[in-house]
Amino acid sequence: MKIRKTLALTLVISIALLSVCSLAYAAGVTKSIEVTYTNPSIFVDGYLIETKDVTGKKVEPFVYEGTTYLPVRAISEALGKTVDWDSAANRIDIGNPSTEEIREITVGTAAEFIAAIGPNTRILMKEGVYNLSSVKPDNSLKSNVFWDTVYDGSELCLYRIQNLTIEGIGKTPSEIVVEPRYAFVLNFMQCTNVNMKNITAGHTDAGYCAGGVFAFSNSTDITLDSVNMYGCGTEGLNLYNVNNMEVKNSSIYECTYAIMTVDASKNIKFEDCVFRDNEGFSMVNLYATSGFTIKNCEFKNNNAQLDMFSSTSSTDVNISACTFTGNKAKSLQGSSGIPGLTGNNTFTKNEF
């Protein structure tokens, strides 16, 4: 089976690369051709796959002069390989990003920031406000950085990016904002080794919405250091299937639905953080999560209609050495309870 899969990968990628090279053999040359669409079924190791682009739209193979051309992304990802298209470099990368040195880019505008996003990159942001909504959405430049349409605008998504650092280099944090109420400021999907430091992020105006500040899904090895996340986003963080995340010296404040939601995740740690002036339903929502820790943090003036902590099917949850001041909630930890929550924490003027 291993040999057959290796051979299949070699043949498929060879065909896919031939497709690209055959249709773009010289920069700046455009050629009109007639192709035949037969919509063949494609099986990889005996499993039928659907060929789709990064937005989920179906992409059909076609035949040109007796050669069948297959979509690079759909076939490669079916075989467990990532694909990245860099239009500026006119380059296609199949498989994990190379071990080349981390490139360092200093940016001063929202457009420069978006253009700099990519694997193996350290983005240094000058002081100032970066309104991502001021940049016209364009999905033709990079396959792993794209705009998704939400109810009231567009949301910037980062897809399968590895080794990315976003760091403010001024005395005050660089601020990233978006205008749509239903958009996350940044949405990370299937990303690895993402680091953010000295950053503030939120929405431009107050009000209720469906999008929070940062969303991470199917991602691993995430670090937020000195990052401030504010409303009117529904919550500061929304995590789904995230492994190994550390948030330190950071804050989440003035969100309208919750502080965070953590679902199906492992090894999530908060230390020396402040959670203040948030409102809504339950403040910290845990679902099917293991290894969740909040240590030496402050909860202040949060107002929950339900519970401060809601934990469902979660294990190894540890809230310790924290202070709770001026918070209001129906209860501290709901019916499920969190062992040890009341033992090593300080409570002052709360209403639970």
Kindly report the number of other CB atoms within 10 A of residue 156's CB atom: 23
Residues 12-37 have a mean pLDDT of 52
In this predicted structure, what is the pLDDT of residue 20? Answer: 40
In this predicted structure, what is the pLDDT of residue 314? Answer: 95
Residues 102 and 122: their CA atoms lie apart, in Å, by: 7
Q: In one letter, which amino acid is 18?
A: L
In this predicted structure, what is the pLDDT of residue 8? Answer: 39
- pLDDT tens, residue by residue, 230-250: 998 799 999 999 999 999 999
Q: What are phi and psi of 133, to 5 degrees?
A: -70, -10
| 30-39, 131-140, 262-271: segment of lowest average pLDDT | 30-39
In this predicted structure, what is the pLDDT of residue 54? Answer: 63
In this predicted structure, what is the pLDDT of residue 1? Answer: 35
Question: What is the three-state SS of the chain?
Answer: CHHHHHHHHHHHHHHHHHHHHHHCCCCCCCCCCCCECCCCCEEECCEEECCECCCCCECCCEEECCEEECCHHHHHHHCCCCEEEECCCCEEEECCCCCCCCEEEEECCHHHHHHHCCCCEEEEECCCEEEHHHCCCCCCCECCEEEEEECCEEEEEEECCEEEEEEECCCCCEEEEECCCCCCCEEEECCEEEEEEEEEEEECCCCCCCCCCEEEEEEEEEEEEEEEEECCCCCCEEEEEEEEEEEECCEEECCCCCCEEEECCEEEEEECCEEECCEECCCEEEECCEEEEEECCEEECCEECCECEEEECCEEEEEECCEEECCECCECCCCCCCCCCCCCCEEECCEC
pTM of the model: 0.74
290 burial type by CB count under 10 A (0-12 exposed, 13-18 middle, 19+ buried): middle
Residues 69-91 have a mean pLDDT of 65
Domains of the chain: 2-81 (no CATH), 103-348 (2.160.20.10)
Residue 18 scores a pLDDT above 70: no
| 26-40, 59-73, 122-136, 276-290: segment of lowest average pLDDT | 26-40
Contact 44, 74 (CB under 8 A): no
Strand-strand pairing, 315-320 and 290-295: parallel
| 34-48, 84-98, 142-156, 285-299: segment of lowest average pLDDT | 84-98
Residues 208 and 53: their CA atoms lie apart, in Å, by: 32
Contact 87, 110 (CB under 8 A): no
- pLDDT tens, residue by residue, 163-176: 999 999 999 999 99
Residue 188 scores a pLDDT above 80: yes
Highest mean pLDDT among 86-90, 91-95, 136-140: 136-140
Residues 56 and 69: their CA atoms lie apart, in Å, by: 19
Residue 130 CA neighbour count, 13 Å, CB half: 26
Residues 257 and 32: their CA atoms lie apart, in Å, by: 53
Q: What are phi and psi of 2, to 5 degrees?
A: -65, -40
User: Which residues, other chains included, contact 172 with Cβ-Cβ below 8 Å and sequence gap of 6+?
Assistant: 127
Contact 298, 326 (CB under 8 A): no
User: Which residues, other chains included, contact 207 with Cβ-Cβ below 8 Å and sequence gap of 6+?
Assistant: 181, 232
169 burial type by CB count under 10 A (0-12 exposed, 13-18 middle, 19+ buried): middle
Mean pLDDT of the chain: 85
Q: In this structure, what token pair is assigned to residue 314? A: 């979660």
Residues 221-225 have a mean pLDDT of 98
